[in-house]
Amino acid sequence: MQSSKNRPKVGEIIIAEVISINPNSIYVKLEEYNMNGMIHVTELSTSWVKDIRKIAKKGQKLVLKVLPSRGDGRIASLSLKRVKPSQKREKLEFIKNEKRAEKILDFLIEKLELKDNKEDIKKITDTLIEYYESLYNAFSSISAEGADKDFTKDIGEKWSKEIEIIAKEKIRPKILTIRGNLTIKNTSENGLKIIKKALNINNPKIKIAYISAPKYMIEIEGKNYADMEKELAKTIESITDALKSNKGECTFAKV
């Protein structure tokens, strides 16, 4: 499953296969891009690495973070130690779901009798990704909410109807949860009042609970992961802006 993009962005979480191990580095092949990458020994662990071969083996799949490139940039600079547990879980889940979605796409192509029509296959694939960002997100969103009107207009009613039938047949919507911690500080006299007002959001999908000063738990539930992330980010931005305008600050960390 390769990306249509030429190379990953700095900070992107990718998955790669170990192709060789040297005394001070590990070379990998990026699964989603047509390029190789290198992990320097200093980016393997937060503690001292005595034996690099105890960290990874040839053929092993690793979830890695993209760093600014060294040299001519033909080989991606990567880090293992900078990947958070939540990022690793999300990436592995994403890869698993995309592989499942590719099988659903194959089933769709066979049902529409388009196996030998590369142009139509490309149109369906590209349009699904254009509107829904990924294949799995497309099928899960269409299964839960039906096909988007603009998507139907672009893809054609016949194909859109078949996609919706197959999506609902293959994917049963489930409730997803994204959870994180807000660290909130306010130095003004009415700090507590300002914080309460900032956290008073009118969104039934999002819950906020006090943990202990200065931390609050925030979570969102839904059926579409990408939409949930956007909605959560918008809410956190609103809370942060409300606090900043009143001598406060807010940071978010996913758990």
131: which DSSP letter? H
pLDDT tens per residue, range 28-86: 999 989 899 999 999 999 999 989 999 999 999 999 999 998 777 789 999 999 999 98
4 has a pLDDT exceeding 70? no
Pairing of strands 76-79, 36-40: parallel
R_g (Cα) of the chain, nearest Å: 22
pLDDT tens per residue, range 91-103: 999 999 999 999 9
Cβ(110)–Cβ(102) below 8 Å: no
- Residues 6 or more apart in contact with residue 174 via CB below 8 angstroms: 223
Q: How far apart are CA 95 and CA 31, in angstroms?
A: 10
**Domains in the chain: ranges and CATH:** 13-82 (2.40.50.140), 86-170 (1.10.150), 176-254 (3.30.70.1130)
